[in-house]
Amino acid sequence: MRTNQPQTIHLSEYKVPTYLVDTVDLCFQLYDDGARVHSTLSVRQNPESKDVSAPFTLDGDSLNLERVTLDGKALVAGDDYEETGEHLVITEVPSQFELTVVTWIEPQNNTRLEGLYKSSGMFCTQCEAEGFRCITYFPDRPDVMARYRTRIEADKATCPVLLSNGNDIDRGDLGSGRHFVTWEDPFPKPSYLFALVAGDLVEKQDTFTTCSGRDIDLRIYVETRNAAKCEHAMDSLKRSMRWDEEVYGREYDLDIFMIVAVDDFNMGAMENKGLNIFNSSCVLASQETATDLAFQRIEAIVAHEYFHNWSGNRVTCRDWFQLSLKEGFTVFRDSTFSADMGSPTVKRIEDATLLRTAQFAEDAGPMAHPVRPASYMEISNFYTLTIYEKGAEVVRMIHTLLGPELFRKGSDLYFERHDGQAVTTDDFVKAMEDASGRDLTQFRLWYDQAGTPLLTVSDNYDSEQGVYRLTIQQTIPDTPEQTNKQSQHIPFALGLLGIEGEALPLRLESTGDAANAPTERVLELTEASQTFEFYGLAQKPVPSLLRHFSAPVRVVYPWSREQLVFLMSHDPDGFNRWDAGQRLAVDVIQSLISSPETAEIEPRLVEAYRALLADLSLDQALVAKMLQLPSEAYLIELADSPDVAAIHRARERVLSHLATSLRDELVACYHANTGGGAYEVTPESIARRSLRNTALSWLLLINDDAGRDLAVKQYSDADNMTDRMGALRALVNSDYAAERSQALADFYERFQDDPQVVEQWFAVQASSDRAGQLPQVQTLLKHAAFDWKNPNKIRSVIGVFAGQNLAAFHNPDGSGYGFLADQVCRLDDSNPQIAARLVAPLTRWKKFAPTYSALMHKALGKIRDKPELSADLYEVVHKSLE
Ligand code: ARG
Ligand code: ZN
């Protein structure tokens, strides 16, 4: 906690570490009232550092230092070392030495959930990015890589299970009810990958045989009550291990791989070497308690953390500016994995939706930063959609430009060349260049320029010559500290459709024959404006632009509604079919916003949806996605000075118009997709559940009594959480007040002992414009199950209200903003990381219509004036007020 301004750290000031640490010997003595940590480091001067005879500086945060010895000799405070609050400075050291530091910490009072803390009686750690310094003094930066040996001593009854990284090499009894286990990790690693767990846990065990025939011991550790909820994570883990061997040639390297579930966790999960620690909500699942979305999320996160073993652990980041080196690449890997496990088109739609809705907004806001930022105050604020999701898109574009074979050659070279090193995004691109022979100089701008490129596309058709010309202009908007940007290298996939919907050959030369021309091409944009000519076309085609969302950019083209309807049913690219539907719906909603008196809602939209509901030959997973109207958040993102209430009204009007016009089709769709076998998590059955739950929610929106009866029955008969939650959500968002409260009460009664389900119960209310107005949300904060120390509970009420219940949050009286400001200030004292994340919706104040933005600005000012602002919150609030 601080009141003065935190320092800005610049990439340009990077210096190699002055001292290197070869080994770390740790001993943790864990007690109810605290923990003593003995740490012995073998240190030597870094031959690459120019700072000879410099003092040895270690990082520390909230530590009680008990003792320091150098080569066995006790050091004296003031004479031999100094403690400055954030550092321990050893004034004079030889070129090689052994340093022992003993600290006392209080995990039971650690509410920031960084370093060593307690979660439901269990000791656990979170060290990324800078949590290891809350455990002991250490040069806590990722380019200091050491081999760790960790001994844990604790009470046998409360902590029968003692875990750390690597292999378990020794264990024994200590008398007086205590015992110890020693772990040794043979792979050098940065401190952020250190982990420790001690508690009363049960294990679920399995085995995986690697491609070279080694048997790996797989274990998932959970509290006893969760023993039956590990199967899906274990299956996901085995699928991930196999996939990484097949697709990237990466084999697991230790003999044991462990996952631990903890209830109190700031993020989703953490890839600590050999000992991944997960937020319970990202690992535990059963048919009765987890939705399809949760099952898919768990599979993706288990894969993500596992994949980090190579992209992150074996090859790690030189400094935190390189965070996307491991996160962008690993998200790209997990996203390809999920596509391979399910429906690739649906996965692409989900990724593009997240990017276009939330990352584009971030990239246009006050915290916009490049995939490789040039500076930061608090690194925790940079675990962003830009680093993760845009970073993954950047890797995906390299994959598109190189093609799968050369990309694989590049990744092989990268892993081989840099194994055991801490490197930069530039090293990654270099490996791709060296393996492929392609020049990615201009492409590198994707790492350094923030902002979403805007592509403005225009076309004309020359009927005499049979030539179709497409002109694409790119501009990259200004972002904080960056103006006048250079053109980027953008892979732009496209196709052209003829009048019957046929895929036309794309001939870029006037000669050559049509039969050999491809029907899809990836154009490479490199200039501010480029024109492409397509030859041999008998009529003006309909362009299908930026297929598969081949680059994270906005595309503007004057599509007519007729063209969009045509693409919705004819585009061979599933992604662009969906996209055409979204553009049509956006256009219809936007025209209602600008002229709300309009009596008629575009009949072609209704007919397009009718066709979707009727045509059972279509990929039903795609249909399920196409039936989702663009979200309010996306409509806000697209608007220039959004009036949230007007957007909400217009969208609701279109929804109820569709539901009224298609009422009978919806009932038929509901029945066609109900019944039919046991619960499975496959793309087909997920699509069936999604379709019936969408139909249900639309029917309830128009107060259809038959729909209400279906919902009440589905709620009580459901044998899985997707259907139970689907029915509950439909009721909660309806005007059937009696049924809504009855279902909510029953749901809580049924699941009150399951924290992950209670979180869903909070979220379904906090996201509803019916059940989640501010007074009701305030009531949720007083509910017995709400817990100010648990990030999931905080997110499921406050985060969901501000992020998903947009009409209520943006109440024109400003009450939603004031509420969020108060909660953020309160949380800043206990958990600054969470506070700084929750404040995000307010930071976009400049975007909104003046009535909103003035009030948002005022709420931010209130936070700025809070005494003792954390560095986390300071950075976000000050940057957004600038
Ligand atoms: N590396 C983790 C993950 O992707 C994220 C952990 C970040 N934690 C934090 N407190 N900033 O997968
Ligand atoms: Zn990650």
Q: What is the pLDDT of residues 15-32, one digit of tens each?
A: 999 999 999 999 999 999
53 falls in which pLDDT band (50, 70, 90)? confident
Q: How many helices (H) and strands (E) does the chain have?
A: 30, 31
How far lies 782's CA from each of 762, 766, 775, in Å? 12, 13, 11
What is the ipTM for the molecules in this complex? 0.98
Ligand 1 atom 8 nearest Cα = 128
**Which element (helix H / strand E) includes 719?**
none
- Expressed in angstroms and rounded, the spacing between residue 87 Cα and the centre of ligand 1 is 24
Q: Which atom of ligand 1 is nearest to 270's Cα?
A: 2
The reported pLDDT for the residue numbered 511 is 82
Atom of ligand 1 lying closest to residue 266 CA: 10
**Burial (CB count <10 Å: 0-12, 13-18, 19+), residue 510:** exposed
Q: Is the pLDDT of residue 576 over 80?
A: yes
Test site for ligand 1: of 117, 125, 128, 837, most ligand atoms within 8 A of the Cβ: 128
CB-facing half-sphere around the CA of 17: CA atoms within 13 A? 24
Give pLDDT, residue 513.
Answer: 77
Q: Which amino acid is at 515?
A: A
Over residues 113-136, the pLDDT tens digits come to: 999 999 999 999 999 999 999 999
pLDDT category at 405 given cuts 50, 70, 90 is: very high
Q: How far apart are CA 823 and CA 802, in angstroms?
A: 11
10 Å CB burial of residue 678 (0-12, 13-18, 19+) is exposed
Torsions phi, psi of 31, nearest 5? -135, 170
- Write down the pLDDT at residue 1: 44
Q: Show the tokens assigned to 361.
A: 């907004």
504-518, 631-645, 646-660: the lowest-pLDDT one:
504-518
Residue 794: its pLDDT value, please?
Answer: 98
- Could you identify the residue written with the tokens 């916009």? 368
Q: What's the confidence (pLDDT) of residue 38? A: 99
Distance CA 617, CA 242 (A): 33
Q: Is 380 in the pocket of ligand 1 (CB under 6 A)?
A: yes
Residue 433: Cβ within 10 Å count: 19
- From the list 130, 305, 327, 350, the catalytic residue is 305
The backbone torsions φ and ψ at residue 474, rounded to the nearest 5 degrees and listed phi first, read: -115, 140
Helix (H, G, I), strand (E, B) or coil at 206: strand
Q: Walk across the sheet containing 178-189 and list its strands.
A: 73-74, 64-70, 96-105, 34-45, 19-31, 146-155, 178-189, 167-175
Residue nearest to atom 6 of ligand 1 (CA): 270
Q: Tell me the percentage of the chain whose pLDDT exceeds 70.
A: 100
Ligand 1 atom 2 nearest Cα = 270
Q: Does residue 632 line the site of ligand 1, with CB under 6 A?
A: no
pLDDT of 197-230, one tens digit each?
Answer: 999 999 999 999 999 999 999 999 999 999 999 9
Of 125-129, 249-253, 511-515, give the lowest mean pLDDT range.
Answer: 511-515
How far apart CA 82 and CA 84 sit, in angstroms, is: 6
Q: In the predicted model, what is the mean pLDDT of residues 833-852?
A: 98
Spacing, Cα 550 to ligand 1 middle (Å): 27
Structure tokens at 370: 């490049």
Nearest ligand for residue 791 CA:
1
pLDDT of residue 512: 76
Give mean pLDDT, residues 356-365. 98
The pLDDT tens digits for 584-611 are 999 999 999 999 998 899 999 999 999 9
Does residue 305 have an active-site annotation? Answer: yes
Mean pLDDT estimate for the chain: 97
Residue 562 pLDDT exceeds 80: yes
Q: Which atom of ligand 1 is nearest to the CA of 380?
A: 11
Q: Rounded to an integer, what distance in angstroms lies between the CA atom of residue 258 and that of residue 202? A: 12
Q: Does 301 contact ligand 1 (Cβ within 6 A)?
A: no
Is residue 836 within 6 Å of ligand 1 at its C-beta?
A: no
Measured from the CA of 126, which atom of ligand 1 is nearest?
10
Mean pLDDT of 556-572: 97
What confidence tier does 648 reach under pLDDT thresholds 50, 70, 90?
very high
Q: Give the pLDDT mean for 702-714.
A: 98
Q: Work out the percent of the chain whose per-residue pLDDT is above 90.
A: 98
Check pLDDT > 80 for residue 4: no
pLDDT band at 677 (very low <50, low <70, confident <90, very high): confident
CB 532 within 8 A of CB 493: no
User: With bands split at pLDDT 50, 70 and 90, how would you rate the model's confidence at 391?
Assistant: very high
How far does residue 270's CA lie from ligand 1's centre (Å)? 6
| Residue to probe by mutation, ligand 1, list 134, 189, 267, most atoms within 8 Å of CB | 267
